[in-house]
Chains A and B, each alone.
Chain A
Amino acid sequence: MAKVWIDGETSIEVEDPDGVNAVRLTVDDKEIIVSPGQTILEAVQRRNGIGNIPALCHHPAVKPYGACRICTVEVSEDGGSKFKFVAACLYPVKEGLIVKTQTEKIKKLRKGIIELMLARCPDVPKIQELAEEYGVEKPRFVLGDQDCILCGLCVRACQEIMGKSAISLVNRGIYREVAAPFYAYELTEECIGCGDCAFVCPTGAIEMGEDGRPILPKVKIPFAEIETLMKKEAVIPS
């Protein structure tokens, strides 16, 4: 018989599940039993009170991406002697896995990531909430004025839910942004004005325009004196 938890307060006794297609792992010292083929984040989100993993670039309707990194947790595959940092939204559940979601290191990492995000997008309510939760007051960096955290949910929603490919992530590095091909929508009829992108956006950076098409957030770089040698001339839309 083994004791497993089904939520933060309730535990039950189950018979040793040999031959049952289930995976047992430990999350924050509580053993849970889950069906295989899911990620740590999915397993934890389905159980109230078990673990605490924030996530920004995750949405149940699309495949996980692993871009915001705020869902990082510590896992051990060898019974607890060595731990490594992994993204919970992508890491598959494994038999015997030990997961820690609220260690000091994790909290410090989350604080660091939120500070960076807040410095980039100081006016986004969702980020401000997280900042308050993790004790980030004022970022120690020059503030930008972006709304987009480049989570990629809009692109994935358009591709995976709608089966279209009207927008994509263009440029690279600090110049990365979400855009339609050549920053125009008229070239292809891919965009059908469904509004899914605006719907899944966690920061409210996308609004639907009057023409039925989304108004995408344009990257406004530089927000500090950045001297780059590698800047390519962006194609400026008229």
Chain B
Amino acid sequence: MELTLDFPKVKAIVESYTEKVDSLIDSYAGNKEQLISLLQDVQAEFNYLPQDVLVKISQKLDIPLSQVFSVVTFFRAFTLKPRGRHLVTVCLGTACHVKGGRRLVEKIERDYGIKPGETSGDMRFTLEAVNCLGCCALGPVVVVDGKYESKMNPDKLDRVLRGYK
């Protein structure tokens, strides 16, 4: 099969991407201390932190790239790899742990082959484990794409996840 490149289309995509990146960075112009907030905005926009955007941030905000890289690797909120279509966050706070939160993580590991921080090969799920979402009365808690599911067990989790393609 021959692949034909639709040059105008590709150009438009690249331009809109560049525009988006530039406008995000410019909104923080000159505010080096807002680096973490800017990174969060970029990650919210692209679902991960593309390397070239980080380089651009370093240049435009005049922050050494090594410092940007240190910040990105230090904070758990940031990821350098693209995330899956659906983000599954399992709470492993003490209250949820005491009620069996660990088993939910293990179930996902068995069924989808991913550990916390990893994305399934088909880009369907990204699993994150966090320490306490603050809904301790309803533990164990799992959040899928922003939707909170309470009093979870491996069975219920299975049914919930099947609904996300």
Contacts and interface: CB of A to CB of B under 8 A. Distances in A.
B43 to A, nearest CB: 14
B117 A181 contact: no
Interface stretch (A72-80, A106-114, A169-177): A169-177
Interface in B84-107: 92, 105
A137 interface: no
Contacts of B80: 235
A165 interface: yes
Contact of A168 (B67, B105, B117, B129): B67
B73 A170 contact: yes
A225 to B, nearest CB: 15
Interface string A219-238: 00000000001111101000
B67 A229 contact: no
A188 B56 CA distance: 12
Contacts of A57: none
A165 B73 CA distance: 16
Contacts of B76: 230, 232
A52 B58 CA distance: 44
Interface in B28-57: 51, 55
Interface of A is mostly: loop
Contacts, number: 57
**Size bin of chain A's contact surface:** 20 to 34
Interface in A126-169: 165-169
Interface string B61-72: 000111111100
A229 B105 contact: yes
Contacts of A231: 115-117
B75 to A, nearest CB: 8
Contact of B66 (A171, A172, A181): A181
Given A170-B70, A170-B74, A171-B73, A233 B117 contact: yes
**Size bin of chain B's contact surface:** 20 to 34
Contacts of A230: 76, 116-117, 129
A2 to B, nearest CB: 48
A95 B99 CA distance: 55
Nearest to A191: B66
A229 B118 CA distance: 11
A172 B117 contact: no
Contacts of A233: 81, 117-118
A187 B68 CA distance: 13
A229 B127 CA distance: 11
A165 B105 contact: no
Contacts of B70: 168-170
Nearest to B70: A168
12 contacts: A165-B67, A168-B69, A169-B70, A170-B69, A170-B70, A182-B69, A188-B58, A190-B65, A229-B115, A229-B116, A230-B117, A233-B81
Interface of B: 51, 55, 58, 64-70, 73-74, 76, 79-81, 92, 105, 115-118, 129
Interface of A: 165-172, 179-182, 187-188, 190, 229-233, 235
